[in-house]
Structure 1
């Protein structure tokens, strides 16, 4: 009886092994696009707002040392050669005179909020910004009162006049378009943060469009159309009217991405990314001056536990220059921490991660098994002139293959194994068309 039992166990084991081998062999040709480029565990994009000089002179060299590309959202109106900020509309004096007799209301608010920063006076930016903040928070009547207060001071000469209108109050940028062109050639993304860093939600249509369109034109002119892909509307606005206009001009906004398969968690949210059921989670974190390094490193640890989180870091000031600055020493420590985990983390620009995700979702692969070859036909409905980031494929091959050649190229790929069988990973363009995988008899 014991012998029969042992025999049955042996037979069952052989059947199980045979079944597993059948299953593994049945996966031959199966090809997937990995969730992240290089089949990494997660992705990180390091972004900077405002185009502050220390971002380029302090932070960028640290990133260069670790071969990390960054995304720099620049205020184009601060750069010599660009079109400057301006008010588009009726004569300034006419609007200011009207504020004597009529209070700010829903009918004139956008026009007055658009003008006040260009009245050539101190505190002008502050009145514009405070009114915009209140408006976006839903406190519209308070926003109207702030503008009335500002215009009253302007009329009565209580605000000092300046020789010229100023707008964004950051330190004057000394970065040139040639500098930015060089940084772009090094692999960094230079992208739009509008002309003047205005509160877009409180601009009228003409001035809102100018901020978005002119910034795009200048970047396209000086750097090329490639760098007009993404933008960040100032103050992280998610105002519906602004998003509608901006999405028509820029394929990607850090403010908001409309993909249904992606959940966005903005900087102000305490929601935990692991709670999301979406295929992708864009998790934005904005390190401030008092944000502890342990907390920042904890964000990195979190994305390594899960395979669907894209950590988007948002920095502003660096080494005492700009809003909520972090020191160069802190950035060195933090970027090294990320770099030490580069085998698992794909660090890429905001544009490149966006493109990769969209390419992965839109690319179709047809598989044909013929003799000792695996033939793949790859197609995508995205514009190849825009969507130019290589995608990573993972193709299962016969377990007898130790090395693989693709399209008889000289590059040889070594196979790896997982629970589904032997496979090879490699990168191609989304519109690569036809690929043929064959066993490479020797590793050249």
Structure 2
């Protein structure tokens, strides 16, 4: 019922789920959170091939429940007109128009690159020029039509090698190399809910792949999909639900960042975040968690000259800050002692 690239997942599991080890000095501990807002687990819902039922059924359900999603489209298969889109067979690639794709963007959904013509980039594409067209030109078309360059790439047929990966990485921040297939008519909301529960308990990121709803390859029943998303929404306290691009970018940046130049005072700590990625790749704030020896009653934080929002919970202080953007300073008080 579920299909998953187990070999790839086993190889990369440690990379994606390993939390940054805390840095500490006496009574203060610092760590970069595994996920945004220190959530226990994370999940992304991705849709492949630009099917019409994704636009007509999946997107409205997600919009109603305020659940973000990523739609991997095939630019060379996008319908030129609404008439052409509606005339395609149920479950056919490219059953949406560019106007409809722009509507998805306006509603906050992510549009990812799935290759210009959905060719197997290892077995079907041999010439360098054609490979560039399938990857780079495809991305440029998405930017031209939507105004946004695609952060994410999805390998057609999940097929890639080192050469393909290098071309994708030139301009795409992340690529999907593991996923949990969700579909087939015997799939139940309970099945998917149990998978999601494991993400939270194991502190992992899960990437759901969905092709069709009601028709197409391994179609998922709309009522099952909505029931599961309703369940997921109730677990947002522990689960980060976001687009593939947002979570993937956070993780890539997190694993390339180190806490350095730490200075700890009586009721304060300051440090820098050094990231190995290029500056154009460092775009998302990372969640920093500071643990103190006593309950914190008040705190403030700055990065450079900018104030940062602070969340306090008992002995924990949580802030979001961007690597390579200036020194971070956090000050707090326990009772009547405050460093100002």
Identify the match of residue 414 of structure 1 among 302, 306, 312.
Answer: 312
Quick one: distance in 2 between partners of 1:410 and 1:250?
A: 29
Contact kept? 2:40, 2:238, Cα under 8 Å:
yes
The structure with the larger Rg is 1
Aligned to 2:298: 403
CA distance in 2, matches of 1:208, 1:25: 51
CA distance in 2, matches of 1:330, 1:231: 27
Partners of 2:44 and 2:242 within 8 A in 1: yes
CA deviations over 1:27-77 (Å, ceiling 9, x no partner)? 32x210011111111111100001112212211122222322111100111
CA shift at 1:81, angstroms?
6.8
Q: CA deviation digits over 1:81-104, x for unaligned, max 9?
A: 79xxxxxxxxxxxxxxxxxxxxxx
SS of the residue aligned with 1:235? helix
Q: CA deviation at 1:398?
A: 5.2
Root-mean-square deviation (Å): 2.9
TM-score (norm 1): 0.60
**Structure 2 matches for 1:228-377, cutoff 5 A?**
229-238=151-160, 242-243=164-165, 245-248=167-170, 250-254=172-176, 256=177, 266=178, 284-307=180-203, 309-320=204-215, 322-366=216-260, 367-370=262-265, 372-377=267-272
Asked whether the 8 Å contact 1:403–1:413 carries over to 2, the reply is no
Deviation by residue 1:228-273 (Cα, 9 ceiling, x = unmatched): x22112222245654454445534221x3xxxxxxxxx5xxxxxxx
**Match among 202, 207, 212 for residue 124 of structure 2:** 202
- CA separation of 1:392 and 1:199: change in aligned 2, threshold 3 A: same
Give the count of matched residue pairs. 298
What residue number does 1:387 align with? 282
State the Cα distance separating 1:315 from its structure 2 match: 0.2
User: Per the alignment, do residues 242 and 77 of structure 1 end up closer, same or farther by CA in structure 2, a change over 3 Å counting?
Assistant: same
Q: Which runs of 5+ in 1 are unaligned?
A: 1-23, 83-165, 257-265, 267-282, 417-421
Conservation of the 8 A alpha-carbon contact between 1:75 and 1:196: yes
Deviation of residue 350 (structure 1)? 1.3
Q: TM-score, normalised by structure 2?
A: 0.77
Q: Unpaired runs of 5+ in structure 2?
A: 1-23, 82-87
Q: Secondary structure at the match of 1:72?
A: strand
Higher helix content, 1 or 2: 1
